[in-house]
Amino acid sequence: AQSVTQLDSHVSVSEGTPVLLRCNYSSSYSPSLFWYVQHPNKGLQLLLKYTSAATLVKGINGFEAEFKKSETSFHLTKPSAHMSDAAEYFCVVSEGGGSYIPTFGRGTSLIVHP
Amino acid sequence: NAGVTQTPKFRVLKTGQSMTLLCAQDMNHEYMYWYRQDPGMGLRLIHYSVGEGTTAKGEVPDGYNVSRLKKQNFLLGLESAAPSQTSVYFCASTKGTSGGSGNEQFFGPGTRLTVL
């Protein structure tokens, strides 16, 4: 069985400071992991994904995430927040083994202050 | 490529009315999904399909039915709408293969449904 926990429902940062959004997962197989972003009143857009290649994954808009199997974590980071990063972020696990039914975290709302 | 499209974008129903939401994808994807999004709950899977002519229940299927008569279309039906079904509905699709982008989901823009 698979599950995902986003450890913070809200994260507040100032523009220009680092961003850290935390995600822990559980999976019976070698999982694929994703981060999606949703801007207000919009659909979901893929930020980045891990699929058993490099453990440090780079995504769009300067975001990156590191897969840590020993900690079952896939935290999302960005060195310097921009006002346009304010959005809802979802961590998603898909455990593979022939199944393509992902499980979504409950989301983390990123608030960026000027 | 239009990707994943949803119609309608907005709808207001009265309790007990019925409606159908249409999802279409032009990427020849095998898997299609219907989710609902409610504040603080993330996306919850209603129903999904692993190929033309197949459907399966997700996490919150009660009150909804689906059909996938054509590979490119996935319909979500509400037979008798209830206020608890007020939500934003998202459709998604994925190729359903390992490697590359085979398990990446592509999402539609959403349908905002209000049931009075």
Closest CA to A52 of A20, A27, A77: A27
Q: Say whether pLDDT at B63 is over 80.
A: yes
Percent of chain B beyond pLDDT 90?
86
Nearest to A43 among B90, B96, B99 (CB): B90
Chain A residues with beta carbon closer than 8 angstroms to that of B90: 43-44
As a residue count, chain A comes to: 114
User: What confidence tens digit (pLDDT) does each residue in B20-59 have?
Assistant: 999 999 999 999 999 999 988 889 999 999 999 999 999 9
Sign for the pseudo-dihedral over CA of A110, B112, B54, B62: positive
Q: How far apart are the first and last CA of chain B?
A: 36
pLDDT band at B95 (very low <50, low <70, confident <90, very high): confident
User: What confidence tens digit (pLDDT) does each residue in A31-72 have?
Assistant: 889 999 999 888 899 999 988 778 899 999 999 999 998 999
The three-state secondary structure class of A83 is: helix
pLDDT band at B100 (very low <50, low <70, confident <90, very high): low
Chain A residues with beta carbon closer than 8 angstroms to that of B55: none
Q: What is the pLDDT of residue B44?
A: 94
- Cα–Cα–Cα angle for B107, B41, B56, rounded to 5 degrees: 55
Mean pLDDT of chain B: 93
- Using the beta-carbon criterion (under 8 Å), do B110 and A43 form an inter-chain contact? yes
Chain B residues with beta carbon closer than 8 angstroms to that of A51: 99, 103
Q: Say whether pLDDT at A99 is over 80.
A: no
Q: What is the pLDDT of residue B41?
A: 82
Chain A residues with beta carbon closer than 8 angstroms to that of B33: 101
- For residue A70, the one-letter residue type is S
Q: What is the pLDDT of residue B62?
A: 96
Pick among B23, B43, B45 to test the A interface (most A CBs inside 10 A): B43
Q: Say whether pLDDT at A97 is over 90.
A: no
What are the angstrom distances between the C-alpha of B16 and each of B63, B64, B111?
11, 13, 19
Which of A50 and B68 is assigned the larger pLDDT? B68
* Shortest Cα distance, chain A CAs vs residue B87, angstroms: 12
Q: What is the pLDDT of residue B101?
A: 62
Structure tokens at B1: 């490529």
Percent of chain A beyond pLDDT 70?
98
A51 at B interface, C-beta within 8 A: yes
The three-state secondary structure class of B84 is: helix
Burial B35-72 (b: 16+ CB within 10 A, else e): bbbeeeebbbbbbbbbeeeebeebebbeebebebeebe
